Amino acid sequence: MVLGGGDADGTGRELRGQDRAMDEALGALYGRDGAERDGDRRGAGGRRAVGLGASAPGVVRWLGDIRTYFPSPVVQIMQRDAIDRLGLAALLLEPEMLEAVEADVHLVGTLLTLNKAMPETTRETARAVVRKVVAQLERRLATRTRATLTGALDRSARTARPRHRDIDWGRTVRANLKNYLPEHRTVVPERLIGYGRAARSVKKEVVLCVDQSGSMAASVVHASVFGAVLASMRALDTRLVVFDTSVVDLTEQLDDPVDVLFGTQLGGGTDINRALAYCQSRITRPADTVVVLISDLYEGGIRDGMLKRVTAMKASGVQFVCLLALSDEGAPAYDREHAAALAALGVPAFACTPDRFPDVMAAAIEKRPLFIPDMPEQR
């Protein structure tokens, strides 16, 4: 650490004031040999460094300290490291701890993992934390998602032989500008562009099939938010299915992504074949359906069955997309053999950030080729 360690790393100088407080906050988490977990650590001048033991009041004070001395992105990283390195997840079951932490997607994932063990006194505080993060994600993602997909739906419904009331006059004029007659100050519309009758009804069905194994926590959070946004669009009929070794349909809860998240149970095994069998049984209009499988593809079920179901869905006209992750973290760990098998079926598997998800969905709706990130580690 820049601020030095025990005996100031030989500099002969003792930290004072804010520098000393920052050093103690860092030392409590990253101190050498993990000594800070079990007892005091002596630094320069015999000073006592604060440790992080299994004490909620002590951790709450430490959380307050790091928010004082470090910017929000650093605070979130330190919180995550404290949970992972020092085994503090259990302390998140205490309301005073939840009120002290800075909420982010990773914290929500941890809370969902602890959901079944959470005492009733903590549950409402946990829901408030989750709701705060969900609201932040909706503000960031909802408007662009609706705008992008509305445009894609309009384009997919466009027809060259529209009824008069379905003519898109703006696009029709632009498409026929070469036929402008100056003497009559008019455009001769050789080619009409409009929207089909489907524009006033549900044009597409979307099935989000989400792996809820422990490694997919951030993807589950983002998928629940996108599911709620898609469900709010009248032109889409959206279904959300989560799975581990069992399958749960959370479609009825899509009006509130917080309810969706607390309906998941992170952890456990993975049976993609069973989940796809359920999704396949709910598809009524294959040619108008987009299935998005969000999974790291570590299949614990029947591998050949999984691939046969993907093949059958594609053959029936379903647009099938596989996302190895739906998060900001980049390329995840994933089963490369299964990813290669899907690619051979014409289903490339790749990680997707939340900001790119609307464009992926738009391409799937319009049946355009997907843009695959040029990231060798994902191939």
Q: Which of 36-50, 183-197, 241-255, 331-345 has the lowest mean pLDDT?
A: 36-50
pLDDT bucket at 157, cuts 50 / 70 / 90: low
How far is 278 from 240, CA to CA, in rounded Å?
A: 11
Mean pLDDT score, 18-38? 68
Identify the pLDDT of residue 322.
Answer: 97
Q: How far apart are the first and last CA of the chain?
A: 36
Mean pLDDT score, 226-250? 94
How far is 211 from 49, CA to CA, in rounded Å?
A: 42
Residue 40 has pLDDT above 90, yes or no: no
Tokens of 285: 């209009």
Q: Which range has the top average pLDDT, 9-18, 196-205, 286-295?
A: 286-295
Mean pLDDT score, 271-291? 96
pLDDT bucket at 195, cuts 50 / 70 / 90: low
Identify the residue with better confidence: 208 or 187: 208
Residue 321 has pLDDT above 50, yes or no: yes
How far is 210 from 323, CA to CA, in rounded Å?
A: 10
How far is 294 from 76, CA to CA, in rounded Å?
A: 25
SS3 of the chain: the string is CCCCCHHHHHCCCCCCHHHHHHHHHHHHHHCHHHHHHCCCEECHHHCEECCCCCCHHHHHHHHHHHHHHCCHHHHHHHHHHHHHHHCCHHHHHCHHHHHHCCCCHHHHHHHHHCHHHCCHHHHHHHHHHHHHHHHHHHHHHHHHHHHHHHHHHHHHHEECCCCHHHECHHHHHHHCHHHEECCCCEECCCCCCEECHHHHCCCEEEEEEEECCHHHHHHHHHHHHHHHHHHCCCCEEEEEEEECCCEEECHHHCCCHHHHHHCCCCCCCCCHHHHHHHHHHHCCCHHHEEEEEECCCCCCCCHHHHHHHHHHHHHCCCEEEEEEEECCCCCCCCCHHHHHHHHHCCCCEEEECCCCHHHHHHHHHCCCCCCCCCCHHHC
Residue in 59, 67, 23, 64 with CA at minimum distance from that of residue 43 = 23
Residue 116 has pLDDT above 90, yes or no: no
How far is 303 from 150, CA to CA, in rounded Å?
A: 36
Whole-number percent of the chain with pLDDT over 70: 79
pLDDT bucket at 41, cuts 50 / 70 / 90: very low
Average pLDDT, the chain: 81
Identify the pLDDT of residue 347.
Answer: 94
Residue 35 has pLDDT above 70, yes or no: no
Mean pLDDT score, 50-56? 52
Residue 350 has pLDDT above 90, yes or no: yes
Identify the pLDDT of residue 174.
Answer: 79
Identify the residue with better confidence: 111 or 42: 111
Identify the residue with better confidence: 18 or 104: 104
Tell me which amino acid residue 252 is.
Answer: E
Tokens of 40: 């005091």
Tokens of 86: 């020092």
Give me the count of residues in the chain: 379
